[in-house]
A and B are shown apart, each in its own frame.
Chain A
């Protein structure tokens, strides 16, 4: 995801630059969006199509992590903060102190799926077993009811949002072992797992295809329903924060994002689960 998103970002900046150059006399309203790199691809995708039909708005989007986004909102440096977690109490207090009233808006559900090679007989694992594998304590498939083979653990680059989610929801402060293999995108993980009978990896729900097998966690099956009902343990909501109820162009953009026919399509396209219709 990171290389791809890097290229997208570059392309995006170029496009932005080109449009700004093309209409120099026209003053556009700028909406600055900052924060979680997990939410970033959704925003980029939605912003591209939004700006194609609304050329009076310039959406300036950058990553940097949930904490940075929330800090930027508190300091008045952005209109929308992207976050893959809720605000912490001390962040809320600091915002209040600076006269900022953060409003939370859920935009998507991020659910991760452990995947193995289709030939692997293992059908389900517990969270503890997954944690043990990634921490390097469980090293053989035999230990979890599989064949007598060493486990090839495949993880993501440490700065990706997917890694961050996995780290928060599965690892629970235990570090991923240095011996874990690294792949730089969801697609690359699927590719690597599909070529290796001993491998285990994790991907966003949207990236599952026939070349790999998704595992159950405990007795819970990975479906959009279990993820939305918060039964699936490796899922979390992705949020936007604004200062007070959004108004004007910010409100228009957020409505666009939440529209099942528009922004929520972008949510599905980048591999997250769209929110149910209200």
Chain B
């Protein structure tokens, strides 16, 4: 009796083990399936269209005769929006994190932090709508522009969206800085300001790097906001007030009507592939930074 019940307990243990392993594998399988699908639908474009023209071509006319699938302008749109958004979001996110961990009293922290996180929960279409209806007319009037739907507007909206990501990861990194470092710095006569900026922030640099990378990958993949507020002109931007068309916007606008398995369809998947590679690189870079410069106690500094 005793041995059989322990046997069934063992069985249950085994069953739970395999069940959980199976669940964990689902995510992996789904990712693999999506990747295979992406490659299978994107790569056929290059049988008919040269990669050089695809990456180097300045004109995106997918439905004219003959079609042109040059994504240089879309690529430039994506990269410029992402860089500008990160340039805005990085100081905001990191400094907010520094305030929350180093300066704010616990009571203030308890109030501010949920609001920052709420920003991440805002649906992107709401942010896009805000950019389109409120920011665009204001920007057009204030700067005397031809259109308020432009690179700067899109970057601002995207910055809103990446601030929470950057802030919460940077905050974790700052928290992980050992208390003894702060105490040592203060004991040496450094002010709180000096301690935060000269000691704590540099010590958490790798975590902040990871935060930035993830923030950037959030910004480059975002679709709805750029579709609504970036303007959508498929040309190389000359200034931050020019309209641009980032890659996700093109996919979202055109995919529903592109003939199934036609050249245009494959071209849109090829853009998806490029986007995927971008986010993959950012995520790899993020985990590389996190791994390489892992903070293991104060001795590693």
Contacts and interface: CB of A to CB of B under 8 A. Distances in A.
Contacts of B260: 62, 64
Contact of A195 (B60, B136, B256): B136
A158 B231 CA distance: 14
A150 interface: yes
A63 B63 CA distance: 14
Nearest to A9: B256
A114 interface: no
B132 A159 contact: no
Contact of B140 (A9, A175, A196): A196
A178 interface: yes
B232 interface: yes
B271 interface: no
Nearest to A151: B146
A180 B233 contact: yes
B289 interface: no
Contacts of B58: 178
Interface in B77-122: none
Contacts, number: 99
Interface in A175-192: 175, 178-184, 188, 191-192
A149 B32 CA distance: 52
Interface in B260-292: 260, 262, 264
Contacts of B133: 191, 195
A167 B60 CA distance: 15
Given A178-B59, A178-B233, A178-B235, A198 B256 contact: no
Nearest to B134: A195
Given A3-B252, A159-B257, A195-B132, A164 B233 contact: no
Nearest to A198: B146
Q: Give the residue among A62, A150, A184 with the most B Cβ atoms within 10 A.
A: A184
A160 B264 CA distance: 13
B132 A181 contact: no
A9 B228 CA distance: 21
Given A158-B62, A195-B132, A6 B255 contact: yes
A159 B254 contact: yes
Contacts of A160: 257
Given A158-B62, A181-B233, A198-B146, A68 B256 contact: no
Contact of A182 (B62, B232, B262, B264): B232
Given A178-B73, A182-B232, A196-B137, A152 B256 contact: no
B147 interface: yes
A159 B62 contact: yes
- Nearest 10 CB-CB pairs, A to B? A182-B232, A6-B256, A157-B253, A159-B257, A178-B235, A2-B256, A64-B259, A184-B253, A152-B147, A159-B254
Given A183-B232, A195-B140, 11 more contacts: A2-B253, A68-B259, A152-B147, A163-B63, A181-B149, A181-B231, A181-B243, A182-B245, A195-B136, A195-B148, A198-B146
